[in-house]
Every structure is written in structure tokens, then in C-alpha cells.
Structure 1
Amino acid sequence: MATSFDAPVTVVKSPSKLAHVVLRTNNLQSMVRYYQDFLGAQVIYENEMLAFLSYDEEHHRIALIQAPGTQAKSPTTCGLEHIAFSFDSLHDLLLSYRQRKQKGIMPLWPVNHGPTTSIYYRDPDGNEIETQVDNFKNADQATEFMKSKAFAENPIGVDFDPEEYIKRLQDGENEEVLTKRAEIGPRGLPDHMK
């Protein structure tokens, strides 16, 4: 079926997926090493000003560019807040947390947002990275939760201790129990976002 390129529209055609993120840096080698370790990524191409990394079927998921005159990131200016990467299970999220910890990569903020259980990190340039697992079986259930009174009262979430979650998983507790968000009432932004 042919489509008309000139037909009036109310909604633009959405892309099929998010392909990659490009980060500008003044610290190329440290950033390359960090993302290799953080994502278990391979460097697909690298020279003195560019690096392309991938950890899956895409030819590159993260690109790094070192341009002359690049200044250090200011955390209080407009721009990208974070990049998020999903895992298939809480077990895998916590396994990657422990593996990163072995490499000296420590989390910034573990939080159960409700729709996701997430662990945030900060790269050498100060960019935030979220690693997450979906807490609901499908997007419709997550959307329903995001329309709830509980989410409206606290859209930020509830902090958790990854080490405690690992122990509880090892003791046989079900992932669904651990990923169900506790309700604590209203909550503002965490300190690292202010």
C-alpha cells in the first residue's frame, strides 16, 4: 500500500527504535574505558577524536567525540539528564551492579520508581546513566501505575539497598515481591538532582 507523502497528519511517524547516543567529551580515553567496563562493550572504531562502542547487535550504541574547546559539564544547565539501559530481570540488574562494583564503578542512586527498579551511575564526565528493570509485565500495566494516585504523590520513588536485594534473592525471595514499590508518601527530588 502506497502512502501519500503529502497527506495531512496529526501525529508524525515514530522511529522504530533509539539507535545510539553521542556524548561530547574532553576526556576521551577515560570515557572509552568507562563505557567498555560499564556496558561490557567493545570498541568498534576509535581514533584520537572519536570512539564507537557497542554491546549488542547495533553497530554502535554509544559514540564519544572529543572536540577542541570542550568544557567540563555543568550539572545545573539544560541538557540530557541521563541515558537508561534495561535488563530482563532484577537478577541481571543486580548482577551487573555487583560486576561493576568489582571494577570500582559505584552507584549514585538505587531507587524503585514504581514502573522500574533502577540503579543510577555517573560517568567520568558527570553524565548520569540509569540501569533498570521493568516492574510490570507489560507497558499497559506500567502506564496504569503512572496514572495512579500513588505515583502522582511520589513520582520519584523509594530508595533501596542493592546488597539487601541480593541477599533477599539469594534467600529465595521472589523478584515480583522485591520490585513492588513501597509507598512512603510525597517525596521531592534527591540531593544529587538539585
Structure 2
Amino acid sequence: MGDASILRPNSLAHIVFRTRDLPRMLDFWATFLGAERVFENEFIAFLRYDQEHHRVAIIQEQDTGSCVPTAAGLHHVAFSYPSLRALLRAHQERKRLQIVPGWCVNHGPTTSIYYKDPDGNAIETQVDNFDTIEEANAFMTSDEFRQNPIGTDINPEELLRQLCSGICESALKRRVEIGGRESVPAGV
């Protein structure tokens, strides 16, 4: 669980990306998040999409190389939505802007849609599938999760169709069990 003698932070404040192409990354992230450009110049930019002064920063460094998919490091960043309807609406809005996901999955604790930014950084958009942390924790210690900690692939368009037909969110967020699964699809 961690060292209880260490004072824990109260939240994650922001993420910072390095890039060789600041304008391209800035346009992508501002569009992807519907974010306000708080500050930008020729080598750094700050974006905000909520009450925080900035949540994403992007630094241009000319010696930045291409993303190496097999390199150790951060796998992805994740952004939460308050409801399945909101997650699917954001997906539809991005799709209209030709921002398409690489993977859509119900992990169990979350329903998630994954994207890549222009530099190849993975981005997860998600909604919590349980109403309480206790329910999520119980699922994450269950035999179903132990057998399949990755999840079951989903189709966002089909989920939206079902949601619009009147099926409740809680039923659509319930993971369909498919048996064992031990790896994330390549390229995610």
C-alpha cells in the first residue's frame, strides 16, 4: 500500500510533455481536451481545462527524438469523465475531428477509450464503472479481475446506440467476462 510514514499528496497537479514540434502538439492537446491556452511562446505552452491554473504543459526541445514504443517509461496518462454518456459524447466529438481511438475496453473498474497524440504518447479517457471505491476495490480483488486484469474490448458506437435506446449506464458499464487476458494490444 505504500509507506504510511510518507505524507501523501492530495492530488496530481499536471503533466508535462517534451516535443520537437510544439505547434503540432499544442494544437492536438488543446483540441483533444477542449483546453484553454493559458500561456504559450516559442518553447513552452500551458493548457487548462478545469479550475487548475494548468494541467498540461508542453516544452519544445530540439534534441527530442522520436517515441520508442519499447522504451521504459510512462505508458499513458488518463482523464476521467463523470458519466458513460459524457465519455461517449467526447469520443463522438473527437471522431468528428478525425481523432480516433486505438483501443476501446471495459477494464472492469473503468470503461476506457485510448488514443495517441502526434508524438505517440498514449492517452486514456475513462469513466468509473462503480459508484464507490469499495465496489471498485472488491472487483479488483475478485477472481474475475485476477483472471483478466486487462478487460473486454468494447465498441463505443454500440454502447452509445444502446444508451440512446434507454439501457441504463450501470448495465452498460458492467464488464462482459471473456476469460483470461494477460496483455494489452500492441501499439496501445
Q: Which has the larger radius of gyration?
A: 1
State the distance in 2 between where 1:31 and 1:139 align.
34
Q: Secondary structure at the match of 2:186?
A: helix
Paired residue for 2:185, among 155, 172, 191?
191
Distance 1:45-1:85 versus aligned 2 partners, 3 A rule: same
Instruction: Supply the AA of the counterpart residue of 2:52.
Output: E
- Kindly report which structure 2 residues correspond to 1:15-26, keeping only aligned pairs within 5 A, or say none: 15-26=9-20
Report the Cα offset of residue 67 of structure 1.
1.2
- Kindly report which structure 2 residues correspond to 1:33-72, keeping only aligned pairs within 5 A, or say none: 33-72=27-66
2:7 is aligned to 13
Paired residue for 1:91, among 78, 85, 90?
85
Report the Cα offset of residue 10 of structure 1.
4.4
Report the Cα offset of residue 65 of structure 1.
0.4
Please report the TM-score for the alignment, with normalisation by the length of structure 2: 0.96
Instruction: Supply the AA of the counterpart residue of 2:161.
Output: K
- Per-residue Cα deviation, 1:54-80 (whole angstroms, up to 9, x for no partner): 101001100000112111110100111
Q: Are residue 73 (structure 1) and residue 67 (structure 2) matched?
A: yes
Distance 1:183-1:19 versus aligned 2 partners, 3 A rule: same
Instruction: Supply the AA of the counterpart residue of 1:24.
Output: R
- Per-residue Cα deviation, 1:149-188 (whole angstroms, up to 9, x for no partner): 0000000000000000010011000000100001100013
Report the Cα offset of residue 191 of structure 1.
2.8
Identity, % of aligned positions: 49
Distance 1:155-1:48 versus aligned 2 partners, 3 A rule: same
1:82 is aligned to 76
- Per-residue Cα deviation, 1:18-44 (whole angstroms, up to 9, x for no partner): 000001111111110101110000110
Report the Cα offset of residue 140 of structure 1.
1.3
State the distance in 2 between where 1:104 and 1:11 align.
47
How many residues align? The count is 186
- Structure 1 residue ranges without an equivalent (≥5): 1-8
Report the Cα offset of residue 92 of structure 1.
0.1
Aligned-pair RMSD on alpha carbons?
1.2
2:107 is aligned to 113
- Per-residue Cα deviation, 1:124-157 (whole angstroms, up to 9, x for no partner): 0000000000000011110110000000000000
- Structure 2 residue ranges without an equivalent (≥5): none
Instruction: Supply the AA of the counterpart residue of 1:181.
Output: R
Report the Cα offset of residue 11 of structure 1.
2.5
1:131 is aligned to 125
Report the Cα offset of residue 192 of structure 1.
2.1
Q: Are residue 162 (structure 1) and residue 156 (structure 2) matched?
A: yes
